[in-house]
Amino acid sequence: MTEAISNFAVDIVDRRAEDPGNVALRWEKTGSAATEVTFLDLKIRSEKVAHVLHHHGVRPGHRVFILLPACVAWWESVLGCMRVGAAAVLGQDASETQVLKDQIIQSRSSLVIATDTVAALVDPFRNDCTRVVHWLSVGWEREGWVDYDRRVSLAPSGLKTVETRGADPCIVVYDEGTSITATTHFHGDETYGLAQLDAWRDGLAVAVQDASDLP
């Protein structure tokens, strides 16, 4: 029996994007009017992220470490990983430098996406993370890091999503404050959906960056 193809980015996001007015997120920066982000917006932006990840060597089965606060970039990065068949590793805490270092190393990630503020914490031990080939900084251009915002903005959309199977790793979640305990969720899991992704996003302990500064 052939295992069914399963990918949240296609099965949920792309289907809901068929209606251009279907709102996915309502985003409000401090002191600014709320901005609505549609499923079509997420589809296009995550395809651009997928193009950037693929350009930087991320392939099916690879891991991408994501350390972002609740922001649109978090959503498009996670969805971008799904589109290239990579597992998104959700870092939970940037307040303990040693934990952050251990999580990046032990996650076996080949690429890291983090805010500029977190990047400053990472720089002292970056050379110890020998598996990481590329570092992407969100929010500001930084020496030694790829400018996420610029690369994603310039990238084409429409990259064909990799065909993933239900048993393929999709998301890895570290327990807060530990580099030892992590749970792997697979593309075929029915234990997560929009609500679970939203809960993970809202539960991130990335207190070192004001999310209102990010897109």
Looking at residue 213, the DSSP 8-state letter turns out to be G
pLDDT of residue 2: 43
Q: What confidence tens digit (pLDDT) does each residue in 20-55 have?
A: 999 988 877 666 677 888 999 999 999 999 999 999
Positive or negative, the Cα torsion across 75, 72, 51, 23?
positive
pLDDT of residue 205: 41
HEC profile for 58-125?
Answer: CCCCCEEEEECCCCHHHHHHHHHHHHHCCEEEECCECCCHHHHHHHHHHCCCCEEEEEHHHHHHHHHH
pLDDT of residue 3: 52
Point out the residues of the chain with pLDDT beneath 50: 1-2, 205-213
pLDDT of residue 179: 60
pLDDT of residue 198: 66
pLDDT of residue 206: 42
